[in-house]
Amino acid sequence: MPALRTCLTLVTAASLVLACGGDSHSPVEPPPPPKPAAGIKIVAGGPATDTIGATIASPLTVEVRDSSGTLVAGAVVRFTSVPVKDPTGNVRASTLLESLDANQFGTFAAPTADVQGRAGVLVQLGTVAGAGAVAISVPAYGFADTVSYTIQPGAAASLSFQPADTGVTVGGSVQLRAAVVDR
C-alpha cells in the first residue's frame, strides 16, 4: 500500500508540473506588449499652465501612428489655435503657434512628421486669461485631438488711469478710475 500511495503521489505531482508548463526550470514567456494605438499622441509641451504671452518651454510635440500602430513619416500635421472671447466680447487667439523651422508666430502651422512620426510647434499663450487650446489634426488619416492650456493673468506691469485728460471747473469734481494692468 505505501508503494501505491508513493506512486499516486508522484503521478499527481508530475501531472501538476506538466499542467503548469513543464518542469520548474522551463522559462515562462511574458505576454507580448500591447500594440500602440492608432492616432495622435502628445509626447511633450502640453497641457501646461503659464501667464499671458508666455512661450511654453517645451515645443508641443505629437507622434502619429496609422491603424496598424506604425509610426507615420511624412504626414502633414495641422496645429490650429482655438479662439476665445475676451471680456469685451471680441474674439482673440487663445494661443499663437510657430513651426520649429519658422520665425514668426501665427494662429496656424502645418509641419510634416519626421522619420520618427513626430511633428511639433512652439506655443505662445494668448492675451486673454482663462482656458486656451490648440486643435491638432492629421487630415490624411482622419485623426484629431486637442491640447488644453491654462492661461493666468500676467504680473502687474503698469497702472491705467481714466479719464486720461479732462477739464474741471473750480469747485467742480470729476470721477477718476485707476486699474492695474498686466503686460
Ramachandran angles phi, psi of 179, nearest 5°:
-140, 145
Residue 22 lies in a domain: no
Per-residue pLDDT at 18: 47
Residue 120 lies in a domain: yes
Per-residue pLDDT at 11: 45
Split into its structural domains, the chain has a count of 1
Residue 12 lies in a domain: no
pTM of the model: 0.71
Residue 131 lies in a domain: yes
- Where in the sequence is the domain holding 49, given as residue range(s)? 39-153
Residue 96 lies in a domain: yes
Q: What is the CA radius of gyration of the chain?
A: 31
Per-residue pLDDT at 59: 97
Low-confidence ranges of the chain (pLDDT < 70): 1-26, 181-183
Query: For residue 88, what is the domain's CATH number?
Result: 2.60.40.10
